Structure 1
């Protein structure tokens, strides 16, 4: 899909489910904080879950591979033209715990932003749960602004979430 410093990003599919499931298990800390611990089959759900009115053609599950080891180091779930035309929503931006806090997320986001802009995207959106203040700081440093709050209901909990948006310059 696009290069990143010292690696690449590719679109994941059903054949990548075992590697994605392993990454989700390694990222248990984040998933338990925001949703729930990954269950068996979580990767398949991750690959196919869509917002209402969207199709798999609009969904990109992007695998991040960095360094010399060809292991999945991160994943980005992003959907184009949602909730409005020409804006994209990042559903998940997840890095392996061994890859966090070293600037990788900021660099990958910069490359993702460039790619989305090249696809005609004019803005990026995402949500951050209130119990994740470090995540909120990360996104605000990337230029996202809070546009509101709402309730997120999952199978096992309710979260108050911040709605964030960043316009993309042409």
Structure 2
């Protein structure tokens, strides 16, 4: 898999992560315990961190998966998990975008999304797809404000909770 290194503004960048980065990702997940409690119903575990690096949808390989770190200088401020061409060619699945609490609300998520949209479009992506738990009101507002539209609803079981998830899509080529 190619190494990703995208410079943003104000000392932020997006860089490829690998299994060697497990400890810094674990620390980030622990700092984002509010997300895990809302979605999973429990604090993040080693299994949750492992899944960021190893979970794949059906019929996809690790060549299709990007685990990216959002860095503020040398400190991990967030992560993004993307799978290209899923569920169909040209549609890329954003499996997770997790940003530290003290980095939220400052435009970082929007800037990261803009940079990733441009990067993915250059690699052939026509749309992004994401699943958003409807109880995660801030995330619903964030993704809707970026232009994502609901295409369907699914019920999902998480570690200790059940949720309705809105599957949403954003056309990148408009």
**1:65 corresponds to 2:71:** yes
State the partner residue of 1:30: 35
What's the offset of the Cα at 1:155? 3.4
Match of 1:100 in 2: 104
Structure 1, unpaired ranges of 5+: none
C-alpha contact (below 8 Å) 1:87/1:121 kept by paired residues: yes
Q: For the residues of structure 2 that align with 1:132 and 1:7, how far apart are their CA atoms?
A: 26
Of the structure 1 ranges 105-114 and 155-164, higher mean CA displacement relative to structure 2 is found in 155-164
**1-structure distance, mates of 2:161, 2:38:** 11
Q: CA RMSD in A?
A: 1.2
For structure 2, which runs of at least 5 residues remain unmatched after alignment?
A: none
Report the counterpart of residue 159 of structure 1 in structure 2.
163
CA distance in 2, matches of 1:156, 1:52: 24
Q: For residues 43-122 of structure 1, what are the structure 2 equivalents within 5 Å?
A: 43-66=49-72, 68=73, 70-122=74-126
TM-score after normalising by structure 2: 0.92
> Match for 1:147 among 142, 147, 151?
151
Count of aligned pairs between the two proteins: 168
Distance 1:147 1:54 in 2: 22
Q: Residue 41 of structure 1: CA displacement? A: 4.2
TM-score, with structure 1 as normaliser = 0.94
Q: Which moved more, 1:124-133 or 1:41-50?
A: 41-50
Aligned match of 2:45: 39
Shift of 1:45: 2.2
* C-alpha distance in structure 2 between counterparts of 1:163 and 1:117, whole Å: 20
Q: In structure 1, what is the equivalent of residue 8 of structure 2?
A: 4
Alignment correspondent of 1:15: 20
Mean Cα deviation higher: 117-126 or 154-163: 154-163
CA distance in 1, matches of 2:57, 2:158: 14
